[in-house]
Amino acid sequence: MTNGTGWAVAMLGTMLACAGAAETSLHRAESLDGVRLTWGTQDPNSRLELNAGKEFRSEGEASIRAHSQASAEAKGTSYVGFRLAIPPTRFGEDTALALEVWSSQPAATLAFHVRGFNAAGKQVVGWASWAKPLTRNGRTLVLVPGTQSQGMGWETDRIEAAGDAVAELEFIAGCVARGEAFDMYVDHVRAVPAPKWVQADIVDHGLVAPVGMPTWGPSTIATTDANGRRFVFTKLWTGGNASYLFIDAETGEVHQVAPGAGGWGAYQVHLGSDGLLYDTMGSHLVAIDPATRTARKLGEIPGGMALDFTEAPDGTVYAGIYPSATLVSYQPASGTYTNHGALNSESWPQYLRPLAIDAEGWVYGGIAIQNGQVVGLNPATGEKRTFIPEEKRQRGNPAVHLAADGKVYANAPGWGWHALSGGVAVPVEKPLPRIAARRVDTFPDGSRYQRVNVPDRVMQILDAGAETPREVRFSYASTGVNIYTIIAGPDGKIHGATGIPLRIWSFDPATGAMQDRGLGGYGGHINQFVRQGDKFYGAVYSSGALLEYDPTQPYDDVAMQRSKNPRQVHFAEAARLLYGRPHAVLAHPDGKHILVGGNADRVLLGSGLLIYDSTTEQGVILDRDELIPDQGVNALAALPGGDVLVGTSVTAPTGGAAGTAKAALIYRLDMATRNITARWPLEPETPAVRDLLVGPGGLVYGLAEPSRFFVLDPERGVFLHDENLLDYGAASGYQAPRCMTFGPDGSIYALFQGAVVRIDPQTYAHEPVARPVSTITSGIAILDGRLYFGCGPRLFSCDLGLGK
């Protein structure tokens, strides 16, 4: 069908419609009867209205528009949304939901959700995309329950009443750009026969690393149960989830307790003087009782998680909440929970850590990282103070600790040491030492744990009076840890690495055997492996260290600084602030150079670039000022003559504030002179280039956020093609988003969150090869006619139909 402006509503050729009943209209969007605003109801900028303009409707006389404007002070995502009543309808494998959608502000409208609820208000269906799925030209969405549909991911964790009849539909638009207008138009809501997607042979090879790790901060604690029996408590991170382990110190028997909320929660756990363990999970401060092995919610937090805890002499536990710098407390004797509000306000994420309490009862905390500050609260009066004058604030992490004199000593870059007491800061030449923290490795009888290796499921217990420790093995359930990189090896196997913790894994397609090993318990990740000859090179978060790994030689599972294989071949202190979050690694076709770029591990805009010579084992680092100072390095590719193309990102690093640059670009780096010789901004603006691939003829094929495929002729300096491939979802990939490769047939194979896609490098025609139910998150390797990719912690492959 077409409207008066010639805008076409068409089903994509990648779908084959099922035979079945004709479509059924559910809501024509001709009136607001049965329609109500549900998100943004308290925001005076939010509006719900009928639109009569032809540009944003597909049939009839009107469409429904919901629009708003994000506050200039907004923290997080701003939403506007509405619900409309429909005749009770069951959606399933034979019946899909179809509608037309637009946005007049597509650059600012980042997120779009479609949800369906039964008559009791329980969610039956739901799809979501954070990849700017709405366009000004509009598109038809056909959404099938239980599947990713045209780039809209299935909301598995939100479904409460699968299979029920839907009585209400909800549409939600989201924006993260402060002060920007955003909107959505919805028209012609209907039930249609569900399409059948073209599907390749997909094999789920399973979890590559069914392990977990304790949190980055202290969370492994020696304690006892109600009967005095010793056990080790640890908070376990597995992928995107957390649980609590109670490990018997005698037998290794484990009780694993789900916290009742998703996500990781706090980065450490606090052992209170009352014997309870304090954590934040989901949207609550929680207390875990070791005696009963149960957790209960104490009070709601404003999103985020605790980064530090401290405790007052009366047993009141305080928690500092990221990213809002909110302070909350719980008094166990009275059962009183208090939200003391934000101690500071900034436009960037605030790390409220560390915390300390002086003898007068004032609570102090450091604010990191973008612009350091020290803050204080008098809980008795509610008075709040900041101590560092604006002109002295600098980037960094303040130090805050309690000393034996009852004063809190604080320091921050550019401010110097101060003694804090009663809400007053006095400069001092040097601080008194901190009061030693209570040991958490010792049981009441004097025995202690010497080491708890959570990934490998073994611990060492030194019993009271014993001279040597006892080895205790234990087990736990794991949903697996996420795959960050996948590569084909010289040994006929598929290899890769996970993150948090780092596990280097291999999969043998011939036998189906999977193996994973650590690197001295390292809790970060290798963002990307590349292959130079028969060796892999990988860049490590958050140090930026470069590792060399020969998968044909014995593996050495010790700390990376001492390991012989993988071995650390380059490390520089400057790397952390230049490419400590390495987004791109390139094995140069000259056979000897490895290049690494990215962003700083935290806060700082821009990237440096490591150029490492594997023959001399020497590296040269280009500073951000020698490149594009305010843009990160997100993709690297080598041209036939040896020059390197760099795809950038303008996205603010973790914990940082956005810069002034709005558009990512591609620039050319002369490998001989190390100078930038050309640059090409992506227009219209895009925040990041996701991947680059150089074809045999020197043309450059690229993916940019969220799902934009482009072709650049670097010799003429012109873009030959630019197309949004919205129906496959956003381009895939974690922190090093390698999502394209050439296949043995000469085709380009690209990974999107919703599909494996084949692209003709001559005509730019594209088609889906496979549409897995799970979201594609990592890749990419081709071996013996199969393409390997990751969906979270699981390894998958699909047949490319090329034969052997």
The Cα–Cα gap between 419 and 360 comes to 13
**Hey, what amino acid is at 576?**
R
Q: Per-residue pLDDT averaged across 455-462, rounded? A: 97
Model confidence band, residue 804 (pLDDT cutoffs 50, 70, 90)? low
- Quick one: pLDDT at residue 656? 78
Q: What is the mean pLDDT of the chain?
A: 93
Q: Give counts: helices (H), strands (E), the chain.
A: 1, 66
Q: Residue 435 is encoded by which pair of tokens?
A: 């009061």
Is the predicted pLDDT of residue 312 greater than 70, yes or no? yes
Q: pLDDT higher for 766 or 132? A: 766
Q: What backbone torsions phi and psi does residue 616 show, to the nearest 5 degrees?
A: -100, -10
Closest CA to 285 of 295, 273, 294: 295
The Cα–Cα gap between 543 and 155 comes to 35
The Cα–Cα gap between 448 and 14 comes to 61
Helix (H, G, I), strand (E, B) or coil at 82: strand
Closest CA to 363 of 301, 300, 408: 408
Q: Per-residue pLDDT averaged across 217-243, rounded? A: 93
* pLDDT tens digits, 297-308: 999 999 899 999
* pLDDT tens digits, 583-638: 999 999 999 999 999 999 888 889 999 999 999 999 999 999 999 999 999 999 99
Please report, to the nearest 10 degrees, the dihedral formed by the alpha carbons of residues 732, 734, 737, 740 taken in order. Answer: -40
* pLDDT tens digits, 35-54: 999 999 989 999 999 999 99
| High-pLDDT (> 90) share of the chain, % | 85
Model confidence band, residue 260 (pLDDT cutoffs 50, 70, 90)? confident
Q: pLDDT higher for 658 or 455? A: 455
3-state SS track over 349-379: CEEEEEEEECCCCCEEEEEECCCCEEEEECC
Q: Per-residue pLDDT averaged across 492-502, rounded? A: 97
Closest CA to 65 of 178, 173, 137: 173
Q: Residue 544 is encoded by which pair of tokens?
A: 């930026």
- Give CA 603 to chain center in angstroms: 16
Is the predicted pLDDT of residue 247 greater than 80, yes or no? yes
Closest CA to 268 of 325, 312, 309: 309
Residues belonging to the chain: 804
* pLDDT tens digits, 99-130: 999 999 998 999 999 999 999 999 999 999 98
Choose the most confident range, by mean pLDDT, from 253-262, 354-363, 436-445: 354-363
| High-pLDDT (> 70) share of the chain, % | 97
The Cα–Cα gap between 282 and 242 comes to 10
Helix (H, G, I), strand (E, B) or coil at 576: helix
* pLDDT tens digits, 365-395: 999 999 999 999 999 999 999 999 999 999 9
CB 417 within 8 A of CB 409: yes
Q: Residue 605 is encoded by which pair of tokens?
A: 């805009």
Closest CA to 513 of 485, 492, 534, 541: 492
Is the predicted pLDDT of residue 4 greater than 80, yes or no? no
- Quick one: pLDDT at residue 7? 33
**Strands, DSSP E only, in 176-250?**
181-193, 195-197, 202-207, 213-214, 220-224, 230-238, 241-248
* pLDDT tens digits, 640-655: 999 999 999 998 888 7
Model confidence band, residue 1 (pLDDT cutoffs 50, 70, 90)? very low
- Quick one: pLDDT at residue 199? 61
* pLDDT tens digits, 699-742: 999 999 989 999 999 999 999 999 999 889 889 998 888 999 99
Is the predicted pLDDT of residue 13 greater than 50, yes or no? no
Model confidence band, residue 198 (pLDDT cutoffs 50, 70, 90)? low
CB 121 within 8 A of CB 167: no
Q: Checking DSSP bridges between strand 399-402 and strand 408-411, what pairing results, if any?
A: antiparallel
Is the predicted pLDDT of residue 745 greater than 80, yes or no? yes
The Cα–Cα gap between 288 and 260 comes to 12
Is the predicted pLDDT of residue 20 greater than 80, yes or no? no
- Quick one: pLDDT at residue 610? 98
Helix (H, G, I), strand (E, B) or coil at 227: coil
- Quick one: pLDDT at residue 519? 95
Is the predicted pLDDT of residue 188 greater than 70, yes or no? yes
* pLDDT tens digits, 520-538: 999 999 999 999 999 999 9
The Cα–Cα gap between 570 and 573 comes to 10
Helix (H, G, I), strand (E, B) or coil at 624: helix
Instruction: Determine whether 146 is exposed, middle or buried from the number of CB atoms within 10 Å of its CB (0-12, 13-18, 19+).
Output: middle
Largest CA distance in the chain: 88
**Strands, DSSP E only, in 499-592?**
504-507, 514-517, 525-532, 535-541, 546-549, 567-570, 581-587
Is the predicted pLDDT of residue 11 greater than 90, yes or no? no
- Residue 127's H or E segment, with its range, is strand 123-129
Model confidence band, residue 555 (pLDDT cutoffs 50, 70, 90)? very high
Q: Residue 255 is encoded by which pair of tokens?
A: 């009780």
CB 141 within 8 A of CB 134: no
Is the predicted pLDDT of residue 6 greater than 60, yes or no? no
- Quick one: pLDDT at residue 3? 36
Is the predicted pLDDT of residue 237 greater than 80, yes or no? yes
CB 420 within 8 A of CB 412: no
Is the predicted pLDDT of residue 758 greater than 70, yes or no? yes
Is the predicted pLDDT of residue 693 greater than 50, yes or no? yes
The Cα–Cα gap between 288 and 268 comes to 13
CB 388 within 8 A of CB 373: yes
CB 195 within 8 A of CB 10: no
